[in-house]
């Protein structure tokens, strides 16, 4: 593997605890090789989503190879979409993965850890829809 920048991962959840926990898990499964940034809850710590938290998380996650955003449910998706539509100061390489939250986060992080490009990271996350756990 070369030492080029890895794709970063942003986990958007209604719950700060859920986003933080998923980020901790994904990061540890990948041995800490990837920046996984949680963006959960509202600015005042309630359940919900914050466009500013997502914007900051993207800035932290991107180190030149772009960032893949994994939203949990409903308004997480809407918040991410609204941000991508309205903010033209964001990094050029951004993608949203349509994937189950925990499985998608883990699969995306492993793909990023081995140096996959942003398309392959999204594909790995989205393949998680077909992964059986039993």
Partner 1 sequence: MPGSSERSVTLAGDLHARPAGSLAMAAAGFESAIELQVGGSRADAKSVLAVMGIGAASGQEVTVRATGPDAEKAVAAITEIILDATKVGT
Catalog residues that contact partner 1 under the rule CB under 8 A. 1, 25, 28-31, 33, 103, 106-107, 110, 113-114, 127-128, 131-134
CB of 55 to partner 1, least distance (A): 29
Contact predicate 20/7, CB 8 Å? no
Contact of 66 with 116, CB cutoff 8 Å: no
Nearer to partner 1 among residue 85 and residue 134 (C-beta): 134
User: How many beta carbons lie within 10 A of that of residue 117, not counting itself?
Assistant: 15
- For 74: left if phi > 0, alpha if psi spans -120 to 50, otherwise beta; the answer is left
The nearer residue to partner 1, 16 or 34, going by C-beta atoms, is 34
Closer by beta carbon to partner 1, 10 or else 106: 106
Least Cβ distance, residue 90 to partner 1 (angstroms): 28
């Amino acid at each position: 593997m070369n030492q080029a920048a890895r794709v970063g991962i942003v986990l958007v959840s209604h719950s700060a605890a859920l986003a933080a926990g998923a980020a901790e898990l994904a990061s540890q499964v990948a041995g800490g090789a990837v920046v996984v940034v949680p963006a959960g809850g509202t600015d005042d710590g309630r359940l919900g989503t914050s466009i500013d938290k997502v914007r900051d998380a993207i800035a932290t996650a991107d180190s030149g190879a772009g960032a893949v955003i994994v939203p949990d449910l409903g308004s997480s998706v809407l918040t991410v979409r609204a941000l991508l539509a309205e903010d033209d100061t964001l990094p050029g390489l951004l993608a949203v993965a349509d994937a189950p939250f925990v499985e998608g986060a883990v699969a995306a992080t492993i793909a990023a850890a081995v140096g996959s490009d942003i398309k392959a990271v999204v594909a790995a996350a989205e393949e998680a829809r077909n992964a059986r756990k039993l």
